[in-house]
Chain A
Amino acid sequence: MPDPLFIIAPGRSYTSLVGGMIGQHPDIYGLPEVNLSAIDTMGQLLQRLQGPFDFGLAGLLRLLAELHEGEQSEEAVVRARQWLSERRHWTTREMWDHLQEEVGDKIMLEKSPLNNFRIEHLRRLLDIFPNASFLHLTRHPGTAGKSSMALREQLREGRGAGGEGQKTRSMDPEQGWLRAQKNIMEFWHDLSVGQYMRVKAEMLLREPEFYLGQICEWLGIRTDAEAIEAMLHPEASPYACMGPPSAKFGNDPNFLKNPVIDFDRLKKIKEPPLEAGAEWRGGEAFYKDTLKLARQFGYA
């Protein structure tokens, strides 16, 4: 079976869009966010993702419903939940093995933001998949933070995904960006040459065909026009839409509502000067560590 591909990035780094694109390659199966990196057994998963955090199960439930029954109806999702609850003893590895078996010989692509929350999560993935590929997607800390603040506003107004736990978060988005990036950069040292690749999301999205081709070349999969064309249609994924009532999300709600690529908008993606600072703090300078990492990623 092929080794999976993980997109690793802080939240609000265009992972949904880029993941949606890469996941449409004929040799790849794009998964919704399954949040399997923080736990060792399915029992732990069910225990952790309950109550206000239940929304975190949506991706896995939709995936299981789709793989088992070829549909994501409310009934299929309810049966998937039941199926999962009967496998509390399963290890994460067993669940991954099951998913791969269902997916077949395609490369599984996964991009849960939870993967980057702690370095142990990333290391857990590497422990299960020592030969996995990791694509580090970067986004300017200023625009990523601004996007986080906008999403938070949507949540407060009840227009977005997530439970109470997300609505009440008050952390400065720069801290979230920095924590995830530090975890990823530390994790990078655990990887072999060629196992990790970094790309600026802004660069990729301005010229998706050119950069998606490089990602395919790196992964050793088809780079022909047909394969690239398929990647320009993330909306074709069965997961690129809202799910049934008990598993509505499993990805960024904005992406789920509108997964079609707006090429004109992407061409206008900006990278403001780092000196502009954090807009949500009145233009106050970014932290020293943020600036250091941002410059390393190519932001100036």
Chain B
Amino acid sequence: MKDDQSNPFRFVGRAGLGKPDATLAHAMCWFEGRFYLGTTTPKCNGPEDRARIMTHDPETGEWEVLFESPLLESTEECRARVAARSGEMGKRMAPPEAIAREFGVRSMAVFQGKGDPKPCLYAGVMSVWGGLVLRSEDGRTFEPVTEHGIDNDTYLSFRGLTPFEGKLFTSPAGTTSRDYADLNYVPNSLVYVSADPAGKEWQLASTEGFGDETNSAVFSLCAAHGWLYAGTANEKTGFQLYRTKAEGKAPYQWEKVLDRGAWRYHFNLSTSAMAEFGGDLYVGSGISGLGYDREFDIGPCAGELMRVHEDGTWHLIFGEPRITPDGLKIPLSGYGPGMNDPYNSVVWAMAEHEGRLYFGTHIWEPFDYAINGGGESLRGGYQLWSSADGEEWRKEIDEGFGSVTSTGLRTLQSTPNGLYVGTCVHTKLIAFQAKRHSGIQDINHPSCGFDVLLGH
């Protein structure tokens, strides 16, 4: 563990906070003076795999579980969906008798809709029964404000909950059905909106794929300089970025801002994290997983970061220099894809904190060493970078803060307590691969669940 005095970050939560199968610190929020963490247990194969919403007291260091998913009796349909999911996870498991209504929290936001007496905490959750949006007035009692999947119960979850112009936006993420399961790709590439989520009134905010059938999902939503932005996944030609003022009746008018993966084509398969900083929108990109899309044979390649201005022009912050219909794009930071690290496959989380922009990466280096390292010690772990101007960058955390199986920095949340960092940990999978492919019997990493760090 690299917890030296000079580093402003320190662990405040380790090993999935008591649940080693909780491998994802998936969503974070600041609500009524408290920090909230939503956790995900991707395995989702039994009553123990339940989503939790927790809070952290930086004074005492204590964590409190405020919400834990209720359990539902398993049905034949549910068991079939779990079987499809376990197939996707690469591991067939016994069908459960009872299963959590939600196994993960993918997104959180504070929003006051027409039916809310005050700002409430909303959570987009992952469920084999079909994703839900939950609502809480007190941060402790959460109730669904949607049907499973809103209008399509094969949507696995809802991501990118984003308040904008008095309305709450979200997009479906992942598929859960008897025949097919995927954590990211959805049956329909759409954005939903509600001015009154408490009243369960949801509408389509966009047309299917923004009118382009090659858009396979909406991966990111973010408000910036008076626009709501939506980034897509598009394995044919690369991501597209749209924006709307959300005026008039839904579905709204959207205009395309970036096309063809910002002219890197499908190496910029999807947008990932997005954040507003200094009046501009920062758009990260990447290919989920190991930077390689197996289904469409794309990559491996590393992610990029772009800066979009209010007038629709854009700059490349780091990535491949290129000639484009939008002019010559040379990375302003001087760094190539993945900040010159080919293993940084995704810009996975981004947030502003005390005048600096932070982003965290997903890195597949430990997997590569486990599979192809021939017994060599594993290397890698996520990185955290920061910048005061979006151009000069400083590496804040390297190699997963000493945890080689911490492959991703999944969430960042700026709070008065400091900057919270949530990770994604793949200890079991990496240990299995290291043993199978490289003969490494012990990767010497006991921690299985996610970690949470706090930086000052």
Contacts and interface: CB of A to CB of B under 8 A. Distances in A.
Interface of A: 193-194, 196-199, 203-204, 211, 214-215, 217-218, 288, 291-292, 295-298, 300
B331 A296 contact: no
A214 B267 contact: no
B305 to A, nearest CB: 14
Interface hub of B236, B265, B330 (most chain A Cβ within 10 A)? B265
Contacts of A196: 321
Contacts of A298: 237, 260, 263, 265
Interface hub of B298, B328, B331, B335 (most chain A Cβ within 10 A)? B328
Q: Which 3 A-B pairs have the closest CB atoms?
A: A193-B336, A214-B328, A199-B323
Contacts of A204: 323
B327 A193 contact: no
Contacts of B263: 298
Nearest to A215: B323
A190 to B, nearest CB: 13
B238 to A, nearest CB: 8
B117 interface: no
A204 B260 CA distance: 17
Given A288-B297, A297-B265, A197 B325 contact: no
Interface string B259-275: 01001011100000000
A203 B325 contact: yes
A292 B297 contact: yes
A297 B265 CA distance: 7
Interface hub of A196, A199, A288, A298 (most chain B Cβ within 10 A)? A298
Given A194-B321, A204-B323, 13 more contacts: A193-B334, A193-B335, A193-B336, A198-B323, A214-B324, A218-B321, A291-B297, A292-B297, A292-B298, A295-B236, A296-B267, A298-B237, A300-B236
Contacts of A288: 297
The main secondary structure of chain A at its interface with chain B is helix
B297 A193 contact: no
A198 B322 contact: yes
Contact of A218 (B237, B266, B298, B330): B330
14 contacts: A193-B331, A193-B334, A193-B336, A193-B340, A197-B322, A214-B324, A218-B330, A292-B298, A295-B236, A295-B266, A296-B265, A296-B266, A297-B265, A298-B237
Contacts of A296: 265-267, 298
Nearest to A223: B328
Interface in B277-314: 297-298
A137 to B, nearest CB: 11
Contacts of B324: 214
Contacts of A215: 323
B450 to A, nearest CB: 33
A122 B323 CA distance: 22
B328 to A, nearest CB: 4
B337 to A, nearest CB: 9
